[in-house]
Structure 1
Amino acid sequence: MDSDTADDSRLNEAVSNDSPSTAQLIPATGILGGYLSANSGIYPDSGEFVFQYVVDGQDTFRADLAAGSMIAVQVFRDSDFLAPSITLSVDQGGASDSDSGAGDTPLMVTAPAEGPAEISLRTAGGGPFRYVLSVSTTGVTNFQSSYYSEPEFVPDQAIVVMSPEEQDGLDSQGLAGALSASSAKSLGQGAWLVRREPVGFVASQSSSASGALREQTLRWIADLKSEPGVQVAEPNYIYRAQADRDLSSLQWNLPLISLPLAWQAAPSRGNAIGVAVMDTGLFTSTPQTYGDWHLDLDANVVPFNSGRILDYVSADLDIDPQFNDRLGYDNNPADPGDGKPQSSNFHGTHVAGIIAALANDEGVNGVAPAVTLWPVRVLGRDGAGTLDDLVAAMNWAADNPDIDVINLSLGGVGPSTVLEAAINRADSNGKLVVAAAGNQGTDDLTYPAAFERVIGVGAVDAGKVRASYSNFGGSVDLVAPGGDATRDANLDGNADLVISTWGVDDGGEFIRSYAGLQGTSMAAPHVAGVYALMKGANGETVTPASFRAWLANGLLTENVGSSIEYGAGLMNALKSVDAALDGSVNTIVLPSPSAIEFDLARFSSDLDFTVYPEGESVEVDGVAFNTDLIALDPALTPGDSLPGSVAVSVLEENVVEGQTYATTIEIDYSAGSDSGTIKIPVSIDLRALADERDAGRHYVLLVSTDESRETIEQSVVSARDGSYSFSFDDMEPGEYFLVAGTDMDNNGFICESGEACAEYPVNGLPEKIVIGEERVTGVTLSTSFRRPTIASMGLPRIGFEGYRLKNHGNTAAEPVRNLEANR
C-alpha cells in the first residue's frame, strides 16, 4: 500500500514518498494500491460526515528489478472531478522509460536494465484518484482487472441453451411457455433468444432506472439457470465496433507487413477465398437494394441470392425502416447509414476495404484484393449489435462451405458460452475466426478475441509500436497495423491512421468516400486478409490449425517486443505466404505461464502445455531442473507422453525465508521427426518486507441485506503477519453481509474500483451471514485489489459502487462476544 494515502493523512500517519530521498521500498514483483491528487478539498455529497481529499502530487518507489520487468498502472476516479494528467516513469541509473496519459488511461513502462530502480507516478491538474500499480517480470503479467467489468447487454432478454432431452420437440411457443417468457427465437444449434415483458432496447444505460432494469434482468437470468433443462443462461450482450476517429492518411500499413513482396509470392491474391466481414454492412449508393457497392469493392462482393440471409440485425437496433425495409433479418447487407457527420455506420465498409479493396490503381488497395467478400450485417444503430444476432450469423457462416475466414472487428467483455460454441464450430469446419483485441488499453480479456479458437489482434502504429489504446495480454495473439492518431512514427507528415473505403450519407445522398481510422478494428482485417493470401496460395495445407501452429512457431510474424504487449509479434505477409507454400508444420509445445514466480504467499502453481498442431502426440525425452527447490506432479519421465498440465511446487523444507532462489525447468520433447526444448524460468523470492501482504488499513463492516446496504457496525483493523483480525461485540441477531476494504481516497466508501476489497465468502459473490444468540467464530475472507472475472462470478456485476462507511470514529477493533474472524 502507498504510504501516504488520504486516509493516512486524516490520521496523521502518512509517511511521505514524494521524492527519491523518501522513496518507499516495494517488492520486485507485486501489486500496490495508491492515492494521488493535485488539489485538496471536500468531497461533494459527503453526507453527515465530512470527507476530505488532500494534496499528494507524486509517489516514488524503489525496487530491485530484473531487466524487462513491466510496471503498469490502472487509474480510477470519481466522475465529479476533472481528469488529471498522469506520468509514470522508471529510472535505473540514467536508463529510463516513461508513459503519460490523461484521465483513466492505463500506463505501462518497462525496466530498461537490471538492478535498483526508482518508480515514480506524478499528477498535475484534475482531482483525487485511486490507482493500482503492478510490477511483474518478463513473461508474467500482474496487470489484472481492479474493477468489475460492466458489459452492455439488452434488458429483459437472455440467451438460453436447453439440454438435448428438453430441446427435442420444443418450438418457440413451447419454450417460451416452459420458461414463463413472452417469446423465444431460435438462433440455431440449440441456442434461443428468450424475452420477457417488458420488451425493448434501452439506448441509455447510465440512468438509475436503466441500472435497476439491468440488475433485474440479471436476477431473472440467474433464476433461468435453475430452471429444469436449462444448460446455459446468459445476457444478450451488446458488441460494438472497435474503431475510433475519422481522418484521411496514406497506406503506410501495407509495406509495414511486407505486402508488396507477398503479392509477388502469392500472385492469385486470395482468388476464390471467401472472407466474411461481420460488421455494419457495406456501403452502396442504393441501400434499398442489393448491389452498387463501393467501386473499390463491388467486383469482389458475392452475387445476390434471394434466399440467403446476410443482414442479421434485428428490430431493436435495426435502422432499415427509413428505406421501407421490413424489420429484422433480410437478404440485403447494405449499410443504411445514419446521416450523422461522424457516423460509425460505415465501419464495416472500412474493414472490408482493408481486406478486399481492388488493386486497380484507383482508390486504395486491400490486403487480398481478389477474394470473394461476404458482407454480413450484425451491427446496427451506432455501430452496436446484440449477441443473439451475432450467434445466428456465426451459426450460419459455420455451415457455409464458401467461407474460409471470418473477421470480427467488434468486441464486448461478456464471455458468452453460446458464442464460443458457435465460433468453435466454425473453426472445426475449417474457418479461421479473427477478432479485434479491443481499444481499452488494458489486459482485461475482451471477447470474442480472448476465446481460445479466435485469433485476437492488437494494433501498432507506423513505427511498429503498440498503439496507446490497444489492449494487450490474453486477448492478443499477434499485432497488425491499427494506427494511432497521436503519432507520426514514419515521419511522413500525416497521423498514423489506416486509410480505407468509407461512405457519406449526409442529406440522404450516398456518396462513396475514403477515411483514415484507428483501432484494433483496423488491425484484425490485416490478419484476415493475409490468411486469405495464404489459403489462396496453398488451400490444402492452410487451415486454422496449421495457422495457429505456424504462429506458435514464429513463422508468420516479426518480433517487435514483449509477448505480453505484442503476442507472437507483428504480422508479416511475406513470411506467412512462405510458410503456406512450404507447407511443413513443425510440432511445437508452448508452456503457460512462460515463467513462474513463487513468494511467501504462494508455493504451488499449475503449468499447462499447448501442442501445435492440435492433436499431435508429444513424448518427453528429458527433464532438468533443481530437484532440491521444486517438484513436478506428475513427474515427467523420459519415454512418457507429455501431459496437458503439471503442478509445480516449492520444496518448503529446502528453502529459507529471507532468501531468493532460481532455477529453470527444461523439458526436451519429440513428436515424430520433430523435437524441441521448453524452458520455464522459476523464481522463488522469500524476502519479507515490512509491508509484505499488507493491503492497507481495512474497514470491516456488517451491512444490511436490504437494498439500502446500510452499514450497521464498523471496525478498523491493520495487517499483522499478512492477515487482519477483527471482531464485533453485542450484535443484534439477524442476517448481514460481511465486507472489508480500504478507503484510500478518504471519500467515505470502501471497495471502490482500485481499492482493496473482501466480501464473505468470495469477492464478487457476497452471501448472507447469520448471527444468532450463540457466538460466531472462525469466519475468514480474503482481500485483494483485483476483482473477479465475469466467468468466475457467473454473471456481470452491474452498478456496484462500494460500501458507505458509518464514520471514521473507530480506530481499532475491540474484543467481542458475537463475531470474530481472521484474514
Structure 2
Amino acid sequence: MKTHARSYRSWFIALLLATLAGCGGNGPESDAFGASNAEPRYSISGSISVAADTAVDSDVNNPAAPNLPNDHAEQAQSLAGVSLIGGFATAEPTARDGDYFAAMADPRDVYRLPLVAGQTVWLEVAARSAGADEVDFGLYLYAVGEHEAPLAASRSLAAVESLRVPSGLDTGEYDVVVKAHAGASNYILELGPAEQALPNSLAVSDEAFVPGDLIVVFNDESEPAVSRQARAPGERAAELGLLHRRGARGQAQLLGLGHGLQRQAALQQLGVDLPPSMTRALNRLDEQARAREETKLAVQALRQRDDVRYADLNYLRRPAFAPNDPFFERQWHYRQIDLPGAWSVTTGDSAVVVAVVDTGVYLAHPDLSPNLLDSGYNFVREEGIGPNPDDPGGAGRRGSFHGTHVAGTVAAASDNGEGVAGVAWRAGLLPIRVCGEQGCSSYDLMQGVRYAAGLSNDSGTVPPQPADIINISLGGSGFSGAEQALYDKVRSQGIFVVASAGNGNTSAPTYPAAYSSVLSVGAVDARKQRAPYSNYGTYVDLVAPGGNMRRDDTGSGEPDGVLSTVAVQHNGERTAGYGFAQGTSMAAPHVAGVIALMKAVYPDLTPGEFEHWLQAGRVTEDLGMPGWDNEFGWGLINARQAVLHAQSAAGGQPLPASLSVAPRILDFGVANSLQYLALTLNDEEDRITEVVAEADWLHVEPAAVDQHGSGRYRVTVLRENLAPGSYYGAIRIVTSAEEQVDIPVLMQRVASRGEAGIFYVVLVDADSGRVVDSVQAEYRDGAYRYSFEGVPAGRYQVYAGTDNDNDRYICGLGEACGAYPSLSKPETVPVDGNRDGLDFAATYRRPSQHSLNAADVEPIGIGRRKTD
C-alpha cells in the first residue's frame, strides 16, 4: 500500500497540471479520474461498520471532528459498554498548520468508565511502537471527582502500559486518564481481563509478591560524593521512613514498610495522599490484603522521586506456563481448549515429530525455524521433487502460505518473546510440500504421506525419524481405494493422521478426512458453535477452533480468526509475518498439536487408545447433544483433559482431585448467551451436591446429568436489563468430598452501536495503484455511509480509515482502518455500472499488532481533498 500513498501525491500534482492545461484550452476535457467527460459514469456506494464496543476520543487532532474537550474530571467523557477507544494526545502544541491542536496542547484525556475490581486497562501508544523515544505517556486510575492521587498508575517508556483496578474497590464508575508527559501520539485504550500485566508497569492486582518488601536502587548521582562515602546504607532508607533489610550502597537494596502504624507513617513520609474513596476501600480489607495494596502505593510513590532509579515489588517467581509471545493474548482459540492448563504439565517434546503435509513451510520464519527438521521434502511433480519444502506462497502479495499457517498452530516456537505461540512448543516439525500452483493432487499427497510415515516413495529416501502425527489440512471429494489402503497401513504403524473435515457446510464426505483410519476435525467459532462453513455428519470425529472472520464474539475489535505464522510477499521477496485465517484447515492442527502434547507424556499412545478415550469423553468437552452428534462429533478437543489422561495412563500423576471441569472458565464475550459446562466425578463414591450461579444475570441448570450429578450443565447469561459494561460472576460447584471449585464467568454488555471518528473513504485504481478519489463518510443509524459519484468504468479497490492525528494519512497506527470486503483480503471491484452495497467493517490498528497480516497496510494519503 505504500505505493498508493506515494502515487497520490503524484496524482494530485498531475491533476493540478491537467486543470491548468484545461484552462488554457489545450487537449480534450477530462476530470480528476483522467477520463474524458464523454465517458459513461457510475456510482459506488456502501457502508462501514465498527464493533459496538468501540468509541473515539472526543478531542482528537482532526479539525473536522466535533472536538469536545475531555481534559479534566468535570469534562470526563462518559463511555459505558465500551472496551476499545482510539484517541490522540499531545504534551505540547503541534505547531502544524491545520491541526486542531496547532496552538494549544492536549495532554490529558479523561474517560469515565464502569469498572470492576481486578479488571485490566491497557494503553498502547502508537508513536512508542514506531520507535519515537521522545514520546512519554502515562495511564492513571482515579475515583470519580477525586484526582488528587491515583488509585493505580502505570508510566514507563514501554509502548504498552497496563494497570488493574485494585481489589477491594466497589464495582462502579471510575476515571481513566491518558496523560501525555512528552510528545504527541495516537493511542488505543482497551478494557478487559488479562492474566498478567506487561513489563515496566505495576500490576495493581498482582499478588505474587512479598507484602511490605520493596526493592530499591537509589540514584547516587543525586547525592554529593563526600556524603555518599560517609553514610551507611540504611540512612537513606530511614530518611524515607523505611527499614533497611539487605543490600549495599550502589546496588539493589531490600527495604521494608514495617507494620501497622509504622507502615502508615512510612506512606505519609513518602507523600502518599489517598483520596477518601481509596481510604474507605483499604479499610474494608483484611491486614494481608491491605499490606499488599499499600506496598504497591509505596512503589508508585518511590518511582516518582528523582533520587530513586528503580523501585519494584519483591516478586515471587514461579514456574510460568503462559508464554511471553506478544500476540499470544490474541490467540483466543488456545484458551477455548484450555491449552494453558495442558502447558502446566508439558509444552511438548522434540522427540515427537509432527509432519505438516501441505503447501510447504516458509523455512526462514523465525517463529518456526527452531522446531523445523531439515529432512523435509517437496513432492510436487510439476516442480520436480526434491529436498526443498519451502512454501513459496503463490500469487498475490499475501499468497496463501497455508502450510506455514498450519505449522505455526502445531508448533510455533513459543515463550521466545516473538510472534505467536504454538500448541506443542517443542515438537519437531517435518515440512512436506505436496501443493503447487495447480493444487494438490491425490498422487502427490500420497507420496508425501508415505515419506512422512517412513514408507517407500518416489524420492527413494525416508526421513531419519518417521512422523508420530501427520496433519493434512487438505481435502476434496472422491473416494480412493488406494488412499484408504495407505491410511490403514499408516495407522497400523501407530501413526496418527489428522485431517480437516472440509469447508463446504455439507454432510457430504471430504477425503482423506472421511477415511476410517483418519481423525476428521470440524471447526467451531469463538462461541463454540459449529462454524458456518464447517462440514458435519457421520464422518466427523471431533471439533476444534477454526474461527469465523465475519464475527467478533471475543470483543477484541478484531475478526475471530485463528492467529498463526504466515509470510508477506513484496517485489518477489518474502518476509515473516502473522495473520488470521479461518477454516477446518485451522482446526485440524489444534488436534495434531494436542496429540503431540499427549505423546510427550505418554509416548506409547496409539490411535486406537486415543479413539477409545475420545468416545469415552476423556479428551473433549461435549457440545451439542450428549455423546456423539452430527454437528460436533464427540465434542471439542480439551487440551488439559487430554494431557492429564495421557499422563495418568503413562503411570505418572493420577487425575487431580475428584472432580474434572471443562472448561475451567466461561467467557461469553459480547454476543454469546449459551454455553455448556461438563462436570465429571473421578471417584464413583462421590456426588455433586451444589452447582450454583453466583450472579443475578447468570443461570445454570442440568442439561444431561446422571444420578451422581456428573454430566453437562446449560449456562446462560441475560444481558437485556443490564447497563453496558463488563460483568464478572462465578459458578460454585461443591462435591460430597467437600471439594469446592469456582468457575469464573465473564460477560460484556455493549452499547447498541460503535463509533471510531471521522472516516475517509479512498478509491484506488486497482491496475495502477493510484488513489483516484476520496470522500468523507456520513455517520448515521450506527454506520458510516459513503458514495463516489461520476466514476468511469474500471477496476477499483475501496479503503477507509480515520485520521485522528491529522497527518493527511488514514490507517496510521492507532487509527481505524478497513477495506472491502475485508482488510486481510481486499478485493478488486469491476465497475461497468452502478455498484451499491459495498459494505465492510473497520477496526483500530493496534500498535502492538502492526506486523500482523490482518492489519498489514501502509497509511494511505488523502491529501487535502478531505472535508476540512
Flag the structure with more relative contact order, 1 or 2, with Cα contacts below 8 A and sequence separation at least 6: 2
**What's the TM-score, normalizing by structure 2?**
0.35
Larger Rg: 2
**What's the TM-score, normalizing by structure 1?**
0.37
